Amino acid sequence: CLLGVVVAFLSCAEATNYTVGGSEGWKIPSSAGAYSDWASQHTFEVGDVLVFDFDSSNNHVADVTKEDYDACNTDSPFTVLSTSPANYSLDTAGDYYFLCTTAGHCSQGQKLAITVTEPPSGPTSSPPGSPPPPSPTTGATTSPSSVSSSLGVARLVLLMSILMGLLSQLFS
Q: Which amino acid is at 101?
A: T
What pLDDT score does 90 carry? 96
Q: Strands 17-19 and 49-52, how do they pair?
A: parallel
Q: Can you give the pLDDT at residue 15?
A: 78
Strand partners, 149: none
Three-state DSSP class for residue 61? strand
Per-residue pLDDT of the chain (172 residues; tens, 9 = 90+): 544 444 444 434 467 999 999 999 999 999 989 999 999 999 999 999 999 999 999 999 999 999 999 999 999 999 999 999 999 999 999 999 999 999 999 999 999 999 999 988 745 555 555 555 555 544 333 333 333 333 444 455 555 666 666 666 667 6
- Give the per-residue pLDDT at 14: 61
pLDDT at 120: 82
**What's the pLDDT score for residue 166?**
64
* pTM: predicted TM-score of the whole model, two decimal places: 0.64
- Concatenated DSSP letters for 43-85? -EETT-EEEE---TTT--EEE--HHHHHHT--SS-SEEE-SSS
Domains and CATH numbers, the chain: 17-117 (2.60.40.420)
